[in-house]
Structure 1
């Protein structure tokens, strides 16, 4: 969890990192919470769930915050337990839909979360446990840029003692083993200065059985 003393530092981090939920105070110095929410909604392709926390309790202020892009609004004072619960609820709403079936199919690929196996055209691909987690994370976040630190936290739990080359190595192996290329429907691309993103190259409405558009 990252903490920021002012809105300016938070804005800088939002350009560099991936977050699922961001709790912002309306009256932060440098940039107000409302300014940050508005900027995120307008500028970020995949904005996190923003929760505004403020002492403003007028309905007009609540409406303004929600209209600008906040997903929730907390009026101070509020207990820590309630704040944490609201953050967790926002994270659950943002999380991928619960997987009710054992398999997920992505074009030529099938991800078996129970057996931790990925198949291409029905043939299982040999992956290490970490490589499977990396691949599954990208499939669960198609077309969403993921920062390096976000990937670290999701796969290794703690990025502090994990070298950058470790992540690059795992991504390279996943890309190679799965043959993730545009002509196969999906490709992991580097987002310079940020991290990685797996793009889908199927046209909208494609049934995943036709031709794949090259980029």
Structure 2
């Protein structure tokens, strides 16, 4: 690969945020008189944006969809308040992430965030973690008219940075990341430690166990 830039998913790829997401989800359920869900259950609901997460959390099942009902709107308002109040209480970078991002930045690679997490969480979270300035482009789930698995976010990164698809590597942990990359024509890498399941079967160009393995794809 002749890479010039990297686009990263956020939750399950750069950061382990499930404890804070589950806390906010269960606090919202408690506000509505519902019992808590296991953290592992909430983890299975992550990846398709906040509205999907709230719909699934409210119903307690992955098949639930966001329809904007009064109950869902109420649950969203409660989740929003709880999550904004605790974006980084337990959220941490995965091992080797900060060091690898620093190395890539020092080597002159352009870095982007492409997440389905809404901007209202993504931007302050990155500021709280002290890495906002590392990224040339930050795209949340509501930045554009479409989110992953649509290719639009990656196409926006390509246009903003003036790159061809072959020059951008999408790094994520789920099927949405692979589908978005394939649709945009960019190569993709999945991490095996994230929230995705059966990552080796999702069709990425590569699967890595450790974040620092990304350095093997560059010309140093």
Same fold (TM over 0.5): no
Select the structure with the greater relative contact order (CA < 8 A; seq sep ≥ 6): 2
TM-score by length of 1: 0.32
Higher relative strand content: 1
TM-score by length of 2: 0.31
